[in-house]
Amino acid sequence: MTKKIQRNEIMDKIMSLSKRRGFIFQSSEIYGGMNSCWDYGPLGVELKRNLKNTWWRDVITSRSNVVGMDAGILMHPKVWIASGHVENFHDPLVDCLDCKTRFREDKAPHKFKCTKCKLKFRVEGGKIITNKKFEEAFDDLNASEVGVYFNSDCPNCKTESSIVLDKIGCPNCGSPNLSAPKQFNLMFKTHYGPSEDSASEIYLRPETAQGIFVNFNNVANSMRGKLPFGIGQIGKAFRNEITTGNFIFRSREFEQMEMEFFIKDEENAKWYDYWINERFEWYKKIGIKEENLRLRKHENDELAHYARACTDVEYKFPFGWSELEGIADRRNYDLEQHIKESGKKLSVFDNDTDQHIVPSVIETSAGVDRTMLTILSDAYWEDQANNRVVLSLSPEIAPIKVAVFPLVNRDNMPEIAEKIYDDISKNMAAFYDKAGSIGRRYRRQDEAGTPFALTVDSQTLEDGTVTLRERDSLEQTRVAKDKVVAVLIEKIGK
């Protein structure tokens, strides 16, 4: 029996499991912790590597027309003038005039008013939500919709009434007494070289994409690129976010997996649709439940002035629907901007028209850490009947593929199990454990998301077979010990 867990409880449970099992730790914890910076532990780093490898394979190496690169984090300051980040990469920052908390206006908690009993109430991360219908309505709203009415049961008068999305309130004290928004640039500044004057100011990159655009000629020439072709990369990005929180959903240091697919402008609609579909299907392929995924097309007033269209892949996080990845038709804005700022030609030769053209681009931009949170939230469940917590990670991305246990710590079982572990670990990430009760050892691996466990028991001593236990179904079968590597490779599928 699966235990139904309140969505707002899941986040706390995932955070505590992440720490307990070594997925994710608060940065600099012994010094009191750094807000919104996170460190990945032994299981977290394996999960993240598997995730990034899967993306790299599916977006880059399995395609003949996409290549990878790895640009530096520090780039010429003019890059960010050309890209528009110096001028436009701002968030509206609001101060609470009562408690002096500073926060991002568009991410502040919503305030609602019941038109019947006049109760005003606020909702933060799903915390005061008392009924399901209201929760669902809340998921579909966003801050730009102030003044919108919808029908739901009021948490106070408990009857179906018309609720209005009123205003935002201070996330700390709830006060509506707020300053006018001020603009705050999200880029981290630092100094390049020994002098700390304004001439040496540079930025930590706020996205990886510009490293691709500025290297366009280098890559296109070295690979003899013919349109359409893509360039992808994975790397760190930094944003001095005003409102952080929700664990690794929004942090100040994070990783992106971005790909710029260069095309002839007239083919934009075809490739835009193609990449939306590819990226949506990819999340299903890595094991995310389809009912928790959706596509959201940006309204015209949300689009950057240069963008022709943008669609987000959204996930139903424990705190509501939010962006996981953006797929954007950016025309040829970025390349044109770098041409203007650098004075260099950035183009490819088009055989059809016999001329050099500045291609348009479809961008796919995903967050590694957000996908990690998605994977953990989606995989988490509680199996009450068997008194265990399970992470149903797909075998391909699970940090450990198989755990090997001797049933008891005697009768030559540890020696046989160690030998099996040695053989398996040459092929895949495995884990050996001989201490403690077998039930506890299984439960620890269920929480770590390990899809298979092999146990050497008394029957092994008689017929050379071991028990193969499957994490989700708890099904147990017997496999000859010299066949386990082949059987596991077949089950994992890669």
The reply to whether 122 sits near ligand ATP by the rule CB under 6 A is: no
Q: How far is the CB of 414 from ligand ATP (least distance, A)?
A: 43
442 vs 21, 265, 389, 419, 438, CA distance in Å?
13, 55, 11, 20, 6
Would you call the peptide bond into 206 cis, given omega within 30 degrees of 0 as the criterion?
no
How many Cα atoms within 13 Å fall on the side-chain side of residue 75? 25
The reply to whether 241 sits near ligand ATP by the rule CB under 6 A is: yes
SS3 assignment for 452-465: EEEEECHHHHHHCE
Q: In this structure, are residues 413 and 456 in contact, taking their beta carbons and an 8 Å threshold? A: yes
The reply to whether 254 sits near ligand ATP by the rule CB under 6 A is: yes
From 83, 256, 311, 377, residue interacting with ligand ATP (rule: CB under 6 A): 256
The reply to whether 239 sits near ligand ATP by the rule CB under 6 A is: yes
> Residue with structure tokens 């500044």?
189
Q: How far is the CB of 282 from ligand ATP (least distance, A)?
A: 14
Region near ligand ATP per CB under 6 A, out of 126-134, 249-257, 329-337, 471-479: 249-257
User: Would you say 229 or 321 has its CB closer to ligand ATP?
Assistant: 321
Which residue(s) pair with 224 in the sheet? none
Task: Count the residues of the shown chain that bind ligand ATP, applying the rule CB under 6 A.
Answer: 15
Helix 368-379, helix 42-55: angle, nearest 10: 110
From 153, 166, 278, 323, residue interacting with ligand ATP (rule: CB under 6 A): 323
Q: Are strands 102-104 and 90-95 parallel, antiparallel or unpaired?
A: antiparallel
Region near ligand ATP per CB under 6 A, out of 24-32, 43-51, 323-331, 405-413: 323-331
The reply to whether 233 sits near ligand ATP by the rule CB under 6 A is: no
User: Would you say 370 or 441 has its CB closer to ligand ATP?
Assistant: 370
200 vs 4, 239, 276, 360, CA distance in Å?
55, 20, 40, 33
Our CA angle for 341, 342, 347, nearest 5°, is 105
Burial of 6 (0-12, 13-18, 19+ CB in 10 A): exposed
The reply to whether 250 sits near ligand ATP by the rule CB under 6 A is: yes
The reply to whether 367 sits near ligand ATP by the rule CB under 6 A is: yes
Our CA angle for 29, 34, 35, nearest 5°, is 125
User: For 129-196, where are the alpha helices, taking DSSP H only?
Assistant: 132-139
Region near ligand ATP per CB under 6 A, out of 15-23, 191-199, 364-372, 431-439: 364-372
From 251, 311, 450, 455, residue interacting with ligand ATP (rule: CB under 6 A): 251
Region near ligand ATP per CB under 6 A, out of 48-56, 129-137, 247-255, 461-469: 247-255
Which pair of structure tokens corresponds to residue 399?
């940090």
Region near ligand ATP per CB under 6 A, out of 281-289, 299-307, 362-370, 410-418: 362-370
Q: In this structure, are residues 126 and 8 in contact, taking their beta carbons and an 8 Å threshold? A: yes
The reply to whether 326 sits near ligand ATP by the rule CB under 6 A is: yes
The reply to whether 187 sits near ligand ATP by the rule CB under 6 A is: no
User: Would you say 210 or 365 has its CB closer to ligand ATP?
Assistant: 365
Q: How far is the CB of 15 from ligand ATP (least distance, A)?
A: 16
Q: How far is the CB of 403 from ligand ATP (least distance, A)?
A: 31
What residues make contact with ligand ATP under the rule CB under 6 A?
Answer: 239, 241, 250-251, 254, 256, 323-326, 365-367, 369-370
